[in-house]
Structure 1
């Protein structure tokens, strides 16, 4: 299967597929004409890569366990658990930070509105 066919079958861009190959997530054989030729597992590999990317994982993280996931389709890969735990901890940190930012904004908005209302009351008293 050529790169354009793989892109069409998976919805990934040709550029993304080249990037996955560059990162070692996907392999292609070069034809004598220099074209990339992918095997039948490439569609599943690209779909799996896209799944992990949608979970917020980076290609370096995916590279650490993709071989295990592709080899052990039904079995759990021990390499995945620490990556999931690390990503979850990162998301929890981001949520705490965003919650603090949100609280700060809510307080500032309330203060500005209170100041405006107080200023309007003074103007109406004149």
Structure 2
């Protein structure tokens, strides 16, 4: 199938498919006229790539284990566990940072409301 057909069947843009090819995640064949030709299996491969992207993994990380996952069950691909653990640590750090930002914003909002109420009370007392 050609790249447009793969795009339609997988729901992924032609631009993304070309990017996946540049990153080594997809390896289409080429016709004599230079057109890309994808195996029907490529639809499943693209959906698998999209799944791992939805987990927040980079295409570089995905390329390190994609072949294994496409051939075996994920649990047999030992390359994945350290990547998952690293990503989980990154997510935990982001949550901690966002929790801190949220707390700081809540403090600032509370302070501004208290200041505003104090000013309003002084004006009302006049």
TM over 0.5: yes
More moved, 15-24 vs 70-79 = 70-79
Deviations 1:12-48 (A, max 9, x none): 0000000000100000111001100001210111000
TM-score w.r.t. length of structure 1? 0.97
Per the alignment, residue 43 of structure 2 pairs with 43
Question: How far apart are the structure 1 equivalents of 2:60 and 2:74?
Answer: 23
1:26 counterpart residue number: 26
2:103 is the alignment partner of 1:103 = yes
Structure 1: state its 5+ residue gaps.
none
Question: Could you state the TM-score of these two structures normalised by the residue count of structure 2?
Answer: 0.97
Q: Which runs of 5+ in 2 are unaligned?
A: none
- For residue 34 of structure 1, give the secondary structure of its aligned residue in structure 2: coil
Indicate how the Cα distance of structure 1 residues 75 and 108 shifts in structure 2: closer, same or farther if over 3 A, else same.
closer
- In structure 1, the partner of 2:113 is 113
